[in-house]
Amino acid sequence: MSIDKLLQRDSFIERGARSRAHALLDPGSFRELAGPFERLYSPWLAMQKLVTQADDGVVVAKGRLDGQPTVVLAIEGAFQGGSMGEIGGAKIAGALELAARDNRKGVPTQAVILFETGGVRLQEANLGLAAIAEIQSAIVDLRRYRPVVGVSAGTVGCYGGMSIAAGLCTYLVLTREARLGLNGPQVIEQEAGVAEFDARQRSLIWGLTGGEQRVASRLADACVADDSLEVRSTVIALLARGVPPVHRSERAADFLACLDQVDAATQATAADARAIYAKGLE
Amino acid sequence: MMDTNTKQPARGAMWLRLLTGGARPAHDWASVQAVDAILAGQPARYIAVVPDPDNRFPRVRNGEVGLVEGWQLARAVQEVMALDRDAALKRPIVAVIDVPSQAYGRREEAYGIHQALAGAAGAYAQARLAGHPVIGLVVGQAMSGAFLAHGYQANRLIALDDPAVQVHAMGKASAARVTLRSVEALEKLAASVPPMAYDIKSFASLGILWKVLEPTNLALPDEQDIALVHGALEAALADILADPGRDLSGRLQGRHRQASRRVRELLDMEWEDKQA
């Protein structure tokens, strides 16, 4: 990016969840559902004397995207690490369920999920996990009719049970700053030791799980610059592709064939993952 | 890290054997066993993840769900869907759940374990939506991503009332580290906040389980215990077949899920643009 372009650029990462939804939807079409004035504070955080937020860190925005009926589900990474509690999880699952119902009634509502999340909110543990299972169910239901596009811009990235939800999306958009993985570096270090994964080594983390690597190894569809217009136009282009004959999550046979080629006796490198998946997942 | 699972026989493997009369698995896979056997007089597929001490992936030797396991679970479910593609009556799938965790490792992240678990979760959800009755039977640990991949997409969830049965989002040590607490403080908190607890009684209070069973011989179930579980699976199957819905809404009725219901009511009320 040239300096001029850099100065004019409208950063997507720097926007909060509500602002990101505004940036995506067609001008004037944004309408928030179950918004902050409903005062949906997490009862479980309050019980533990922790900070709550009136929208529980999730924005549900209905509107149009390139003229098409769309619901945007934006997770606020700045609130509790974007973690999924009962309320935030129910907002995402409930909205996806209604989008699927729309399609069954002949209204082709599509969905965009902005993943900025560490996964389950551990202070609401089992209710967060249950909500994530319901989100996953709703994605699989909706994607039969219209694409569900996932976007992770950073800086939180997309982890835990929500990375599995991202893996169920029809298409996935990442920035170079985003990270996508199941287990956060700290948790791997805790569970498996520092030799397995050093949570302080940022180049290791981004090298293996960053947006560029994930797209190069076909675990995501597009790596975009941190630019709101580019994010928006990429999402529109992917939605226009419609529902593919086979979703990434259905390619069990292809992935198993790839994993057969992995030399599990040695530690994995980014180059190995790229080489094996670039060829095996064409 | 110490292996804490080898001291007792794996509950999942044991129950899979007991429920299927020791029938041979459909594949020679070591860590994912799919066994075709009878449920309520009709063919069904029972699936379990079992420990594989020789797994070529070193972080997947104690029954964890790893890369290969996730995709094999997906295959095991996809095969059933393919078999019944044109059948009016879709055969049931029973996920026998005893999964200590997903695999934590560098290899796993490099090759996208999140995608492997999405393969499994997605296959179970697709099977349910296609009309296959899916029953999750929790006989041991049901932890986090491993549970999401294996069983949490079931139409009905049944658990054994057994101290070895645990449902949770993260192991205690890691949960303590991430929430900046000591393990002792976490345990104390878990005793008063139902969704944070690890035991099955607290989990049952959330209303997500369909039934909790109380076998008498937990370590070595007898004929009566096996009949109890068989009976519950048959009852769950009948309940699913009598239900026109294929979604997970049956889990929303618990007294600790008021907020989940309230949010859905609000969304439904506000969904259509009244001004448009």
Q: Report if residue A92 sits inside a domain.
A: yes
Residue B195 with chain A: CB contacts under 8 Å: 44, 86, 124-128
Q: Could you tell me if residue A197 is inside a domain?
A: no
Q: Which residues of B touch A197 (CB under 8 A)?
A: 105-106, 109
DSSP output for A90-141: HHHHHHHHHHHHHHHTT---EEEEE--B-SB-GGGHHHHHHHHHHHHHHHHH
How confident is residue A1, by pLDDT bands cut at 50, 70 and 90? low
Whether residue A66 is contained in a domain is answered as: yes
Domain annotation for chain B: domains and CATH numbers: 11-251 (3.90.226.10)
Contacts of A233 (CB under 8 A, 6+ apart): none
Task: State the pTM of this model.
Answer: 0.97
- pLDDT above 70 (res B1): no
| Pairwise CB contact (< 8 Å): B129 & A141 | yes
Residue A188 lies in a domain: no
Domain assignment of residue A245, yes or no: yes
Total domain count, chain A? 1
pLDDT one-digit tens code per residue, A126-174: 999 999 999 999 999 999 999 999 999 999 999 999 999 999 999 999 9
Q: How far apart are CA B65 and CA B276, in angstroms?
A: 48
Segment B259-270 shows an average pLDDT of: 98
Q: Is residue A88 part of a domain?
A: yes
Window A:95-154, CB contacts with B under 8 Å: 95, 97-98, 118-120, 122-134, 136-137, 140-141, 144
Q: Does A275 contact B at CB distance below 8 Å? A: no
Instruction: Centre a 10 Å sphere on the Cβ of residue B61 and count the other Cβ atoms it contains.
Output: 19
Confidence tier at B8 by pLDDT (50, 70, 90): low
- For residue A90, the chain B residues in CB contact (below 8 A) are 259-260, 263-264
Confidence of residue B7 (pLDDT cuts 50, 70, 90): very low
Mutation target vs A (from B27, B73, B267; most A CBs, 10 A cutoff): B267
How far away is chain A from the Cα of B123, in angstroms, using its nearest Cα?
A: 7
- Per-residue pLDDT, averaged over B86-91, amounts to 96
Of the candidates B270, B271, B248, the one whose C-alpha atom is nearest the C-alpha of residue B260 is B248
DSSP chain B: ----SSSS--HHHHHHHHHHTTPPBSS--SSEEEEEEEETTEEEEEEEE---TT-SSTT-SSS-B-HHHHHHHHHHHHHHHHHTTT-SSPPPEEEEEEE--B--SHHHHHTTHHHHHHHHHHHHHHHHHTT--EEEEEEEEEEHHHHHHTTTT-SEEEEE--TT-EEESS-HHHHHHHTT--HHHHHHHHHHSGGG--BHHHHHTTT--SEEE--S-SSS--HHHHHHHHHHHHHHHHHHHT----SSGGGG-SGGGHHHHHHHHHHHHHSS-TT-
pLDDT at A186 over 90: no
State the CATH number of the domain containing residue A129.
Answer: 3.90.226.10
For residue B171, the distance in angstroms to the closest alpha carbon of chain A comes to 9
Q: How far apart are CA A209 and CA B12, in angstroms?
A: 32
Rg of chain A over CA atoms, in angstroms?
A: 19
Q: Is A164 on the interface with B (CB under 8 A)?
A: yes
Question: 10 Å Cβ neighbour count for B174?
Answer: 22
**Residue A256, in any domain of the structure:** no
Contact B260 A197 (CB under 8 A): no
Q: Decide the pairing of beta strands A68-75 and A110-114.
A: parallel
Residue A70 lies in a domain: yes
Weakest-pLDDT range from A230-239, B19-28, B172-181: B172-181
pLDDT in tens, B105-116: 999 999 999 999
Q: Which of A122, A142, A214, A262 to mutate to test the interface with B (most CBs of B within 10 A)?
A: A122
Domain range enclosing A50: 8-180+220-249
Give me the pLDDT at residue B4, please.
Answer: 46
- What is residue B187's predicted lDDT score, i.e. its pLDDT? 87
Distance (Å) from the alpha carbon of A259 to chain B's nearest alpha carbon: 7
